[in-house]
Structure 1
Amino acid sequence: MQFATTTSPHVHLGNSVGRVMRRVVYALLPGLLALVWIFGPGVLVQAAIAVSTALAAEALMLTLRGKPLGRFLGDCSALVTALLLAIALPPLAPWWITVLGTGFAIIIAKHLYGGLGYNPFNPAMIGYVVLLTSFPREMSSWAAPLTLHGSTPDLATTLALVFGERSAETLDAVTSATVLDLLRTQIGLGHSVTEVRSSPVFGLLGARGWEWVNLAFLAGGLWMCRQRTAAWQIPAGMLGALAVISTLFWLVDAARFAPPWFHLFSGAAIFGAFFIATDPVSASTTPRGRLIYGAGIGVLTWVIRSVGGFPDGVAFAVLLMNIAAPTIDQYTRPRVFGARA
């Protein structure tokens, strides 16, 4: 049946889910390569496990739901979820951690709600939070950065730790505490930020090694915004709010609160701002709403890092603001052209 069209012709821009997801993968590559350089081949091992698990779980759920495999597996959404989760995991995490988290993200956080486009929460962050709250010891065993020890675990050592025996002696030799975890612990023991930052795990701006990783993610994120794959308002709101609130408290009490550049270049702040918070399904969709949504994530990230029980609050902040996104959109809808103010 043909319908009469009374408006101007509708021009298709050529966008598709697969095209958008592939651009996200391209934008992730600089940060992924930087992680491999700084932390070793464990990053690629985790990515391979996560991608394999995600594709298998996606195929299983599509089969059970009677959906065509080729169409939905080819949109690369499962690939993006797997890569985002793999990047967030410690490079030397045991294989079953990655399988469990990825399977939970695809099966529960995505398909339980109806699949792509219906999930109210970011699937990768749901999987990450489940792992962090269930297995805190395994999730805190980060590989020591290249800039700290002068070398990273080789492939043989990495495979042995990921798939084999994980003795305490071997782990102690190749892992170290994250800088956010160290800062939170030492401030709780009464040390000042200046004293804590004398540790060799600190760099010029933030965590040693993570500065380069964050710069690489920043480059990929800015490219995504230029390509309009990600809305610039969300990372601008998140990083801006994080910088403002951390600056205010740093000026009030520099002995207790870290400076803004530390918060921006340590942990997952930049990665989360461009690649996690900008999820088009679970994030806010209105222009003003995106700024509010991003600012909320930035403020919550600082609160969780500074007074919460977890060293990096990006995942929890994103999930909390996912809950608020529909309400934000409801009250920030643009005025319809021609309607009365």
Structure 2
Amino acid sequence: MKTSPFLIEPTPLQRVMFTVAVALLPGIVLHVGVYGIGLLLQLLLATATALLTEAICLKLRGRALQPALTDGSAVVTAWLLALCMPPLAAWWLVVLGTVVAIGLAKHAFGGLGQNTFNPGMVGFAVLIVSFPAQMARWGAPLVLPALDLSALDQIRLILAGALPPGVGFDAIASATPLDAVRTALRQGQMVPAILQSPQFGDIGGKGSEWIAAGWLAGGLLLWRQKLIPWQLPVGYLGAVVACSGLAHLLDAQQYASPLFQLSTGAVMLAAFFIVTDPVTAPTTPRGRLLFAALAGLLTWLIRSFGNYPDGVAFAVLIMNIAAPFIDQYTQPAVFGRKGAR
């Protein structure tokens, strides 16, 4: 139609979820290139568990199976959880986290569109609080000189906890870049010296900076397709940059630069794929900016002063609680009236 009125049809949920899955592929490919094929098995386990849990919950609730199992929402939740997990984590960890995400965080609240908290982040938070040692078992990036596990070795490690004869997990283990920085700072080292370690690249953790670039590319695709509002990633990344930039300016010996914060850990993944969850984020433009900025602030605070190296999950869940309150007090002005509402 070339003249008004113009009617905008809502984008089908199945198409939205398919596009999100496609947008995740660049980061997934780079993640596999950096850490190995173990991530693909984690994605497969999470996907199968999510669909099975979804089917069981729908059956118990007396709901039709086919629409929910084919809309892609459970698969996207499973992928986001798996992408936050150590690639070589035991199989039961990702299975348990996915059951919690789908069964507790999603269906216990009424199903798709009714959940208060981001399901994937609920699953991750339960795992990292309950099993901190197992969730810290990251293998070394393949770009570092370490024992090279074959694809079959990685599968055996995930499914059976078995390593090649005479090899312990310490031989292939490596702290995440964020955890390495936090530990070294507590030992009295300074950031510039810490970042000289072979574990770090030009701006962040070696390899993780490429993964962050993959999330950025996928996120820009979602924004270009108008599937995410600009306020959420801009507010989140802006807050992380502002906080880390000010701290780095005041004391570069103790606080890493904004580029390090953006290119390490789950910040880019959170900015475009987690904070932007339409169900658990505010709906008003000002509310989205405030929500995302506060989530970014909390992420940086937890990273810098908390007991966990990456604060994305906890920051998002805390702000999920505040989302209805933010929506209520950031309503735009009603057309034809002065002031809000």
TM over 0.5: yes
The within-5 A match list for 1:1-150 is 11-149=7-145
Where do 5+ consecutive residues of structure 2 fail to align?
none
User: d(CA) in 2 for partners of 1:153 and 1:229?
Assistant: 39
Contact 1:95 1:162 (C-alpha < 8 Å) held by counterparts: yes
User: d(CA) in 2 for partners of 1:208 and 1:273?
Assistant: 21
SS of residue in 1 equivalent to 2:143: helix
User: d(CA) in 1 for partners of 2:187 and 2:247?
Assistant: 19
SS of residue in 1 equivalent to 2:11: coil
Following TM superposition, by how much is the alpha carbon of 1:12 offset from its aligned partner in structure 2, in angstroms? 4.6
1:4 is matched with none
Count how many residue pairs are aligned between Structure 1 and Structure 2.
334
Following TM superposition, by how much is the alpha carbon of 1:175 offset from its aligned partner in structure 2, in angstroms? 2.0
- Deviation readout 1:198-234 (Å, 9 max, x if unpaired): 1111111111100110001100001101111111111
Q: Percent identity?
A: 50
Contact 1:39 1:152 (C-alpha < 8 Å) held by counterparts: no
1:232 is matched with 230
Contact 2:31 2:211 (C-alpha < 8 Å) held by counterparts: yes
Choose from 333, 336, 339 the match for 1:338: 336
1:177 is matched with 175
The within-5 A match list for 1:131-210 is 131-149=127-145, 153-166=149-162, 169-210=167-208
Following TM superposition, by how much is the alpha carbon of 1:324 offset from its aligned partner in structure 2, in angstroms? 1.0
Given residue 95 of structure 1, which amino acid in structure 2 is its aligned partner? W
Q: Give the TM-score, by structure 2 length.
A: 0.95
Contact 1:46 1:98 (C-alpha < 8 Å) held by counterparts: yes
User: d(CA) in 1 for partners of 2:158 and 2:37?
Assistant: 11
Contact 2:147 2:171 (C-alpha < 8 Å) held by counterparts: no
User: d(CA) in 1 for partners of 2:149 and 2:12?
Assistant: 40
- 2:235 equivalent to 1:215: no
1:317 is matched with 315
CA RMSD of aligned residues (A): 1.5
User: d(CA) in 2 for partners of 1:15 and 1:87?
Assistant: 26
User: d(CA) in 1 for partners of 2:229 and 2:265?
Assistant: 22
Contact 2:146 2:171 (C-alpha < 8 Å) held by counterparts: no
2:262 is matched with 264
Contact 1:231 1:278 (C-alpha < 8 Å) held by counterparts: yes
Following TM superposition, by how much is the alpha carbon of 1:308 offset from its aligned partner in structure 2, in angstroms? 0.5
Where do 5+ consecutive residues of structure 1 fail to align?
1-7
User: d(CA) in 2 for partners of 1:111 and 1:267?
Assistant: 29
Following TM superposition, by how much is the alpha carbon of 1:194 offset from its aligned partner in structure 2, in angstroms? 1.2
Large movers: runs of 4+ above 6 Å:
none
- Deviation readout 1:110-156 (Å, 9 max, x if unpaired): 00000000000000000000000111111111121122137853211
CA, structure 1 residues 294+152, in 2 after alignment: closer, same or farther (shift >3 Å)?
A: farther
Contact 1:110 1:119 (C-alpha < 8 Å) held by counterparts: yes
